[in-house]
Amino acid sequence: NRQVILKRYVSGCPTVDDMEVVAGAVRLAVPPGSPAVLVKNLYLSCDPYMRTRMTRHSEHSNFVPDYVPGKVLDNCSVCKVVVSGHPDFKPGDLLWGVTGWEEYSLIPNPMFCHRINHHEFPLSYYTGVLGVPGLTAYAGLFEVAKAKKGEHVFVSAAAGAVGQIVGQLAKLTGCYVVGSAGSDQKVNLLKTKFGFDDAFNYKKELDLNAALKRCFPDGIDVYFENVGGAMLDAVLRNMRHRGRVAVCGQVSQYNLERPDGVDLFQLVGKHIRMEGFLVSEYSGDYYRRFEEEMARYLEEGKVVCVEDVAEGIEAAPAALVGLFAGHNVGKQVVAVARE
Ligand code: NDP
């Protein structure tokens, strides 16, 4: 059972040397009388927030437990039941939920996992468009930012797992949508595949404020915030009165010891509502409604998604580290096994 372990706490940018792929022990059985299931992991999700778990935090500063050096990493995966101690689950059932970054995992309570309902799509979609990133885009855009038809929406990290879905959902709602991304290839994808009205490469813009003014001469109603730092500062200057900022993530800050300064005073004069949110608040029935709606969009071709699939568990550390250099084009996933 090959596993990806954290070798040491990370400071600054993570490197592949901060992790190690080791041979761990696996018992292809569940303890007698336990409701656990043993699963084979098929697809591992790579997510930027995993970096925030690689630093030792004081007790309450993080919303999920820190990773522990010497121990296996965990995150959402798509997996298949191999042995079941639970009456409602049988070998061959396909699930998604939190497992170790390893080939086989023991899940103590499979009731915390979701069943995979739509077999007509690639299974990996449940690490992306039909899983946490898709739900994050949907809940952030509609519940937090309350985007409405005709509004002007800006999305950062727009070609990534969350951003690509935010842009398409905003277009389906009848918004004017612009995204930023860190390469010309990604900008091209935003305009051609995902149907954004406009997009720019933030690494090539000398003045982010000017780039935003060019795309939004009349200002921004909704900002879907994925990156923080200088981009957030420039966006706030270009927000309209009573604009809303859904603070989803701040990937530019995750490798810093201390956050960049941002001019939050912009919120005051313009009555901008800026609201942080965690996708975990939107589980249960909300997820099921989202899953059905998104599956319909995919079937009808109204939403498409782009994935970046790394092959084999040995590729997992580099795939995770690559998120911070923008190597992933679309949702980063690791294929551990195809069936
Ligand atoms: P992505 O697929 O977008 O991958 C990360 C991307 O971030 C990279 O491809 C890169 O794209 C960009 N990036 C990396 N470093 C920087 C930097 N210094 N400045 C600007 N951009 C950078 O990741 P996700 O879609 O999975 O996540 C997007 C955001 O959503 C993250 O902030 C994440 O933490 C957050 N999130 C929040 C959730 C919640 O519940 N609130 C749930 C899920 C995700 P580029 O080439 O464009 O720079």
What would the pLDDT profile of 299-316 be if each residue is shown by its tens digit? 999 999 999 999 999 999
Do 82 and 191 lie in one domain? The reply is no
Give the pLDDT band (50/70/90) at residue 122. very high
Counted domains in the chain: 2
- On whether both 66 and 190 belong to a single domain, the answer is no
Asked if the model's pLDDT at residue 260 lies above 90, the reply is no
Give the pLDDT of residue 269. Answer: 84
The pLDDT value recorded for residue 3 is: 97
Q: Are 223 and 163 in contact (CB under 8 A)?
A: no
Residue 290 resides in a domain? no
Please give the structure tokens belonging to residue 70: 């010497």
Other CB atoms within a 10 A radius of the CB of residue 230 amount to 15
From 51, 76, 162, the mutation candidate for ligand 1 (largest count of ligand atoms within 8 A of CB) is: 162
81 and 203 belong to one structural domain: no
Residue 48 pLDDT more than 90? yes
Cα(217) to centroid of ligand 1, in Å? 26
pLDDT tens for 268-303 read 888 899 999 999 999 899 999 999 999 999 999 999
List the CATH number of the domain containing 44. 3.90.180.10
Supply the ipTM of this predicted assembly: 0.99
Same domain for 245 and 194:
yes
Please state, for a pLDDT cut of 90, what percent of the chain lies above it.
89
Give me the mean pLDDT over the 176-194 stretch: 98
Tokens of 313: 């568990």
Mean pLDDT value across residues 157-166: 98
Ligand 1 atom 43: residue of nearest CA:
133
pLDDT for the residue 162: 98
Q: How far apart are CA 112 and CA 97, in angstroms?
A: 7
82-107 mean pLDDT: 97
Q: Token pair of 69, please? A: 């050096």
Q: Return the residue whose CA atom lies nearest to atom 39 of ligand 1.
A: 278
CA distance readout (Å), 103 to 5, 295, 311, 322: 13, 28, 13, 21
- CA distances (Å), 89 to each of 96, 231, 291, 321, 330, in order? 13, 46, 21, 35, 32
Amino acid letter for position 188: N
Q: Are residues 171 and 124 in the same domain?
A: no
The answer to the question of residue 285 being in a domain is no
Ligand 1 atom 30 nearest Cα: 249
* Tokens linked to 219: 């200002």
Residue with tokens 């935090």: 57
Strands 74-84 and 19-23, by their bridges, are unpaired
- Which structure tokens are listed for 178? 């612009």
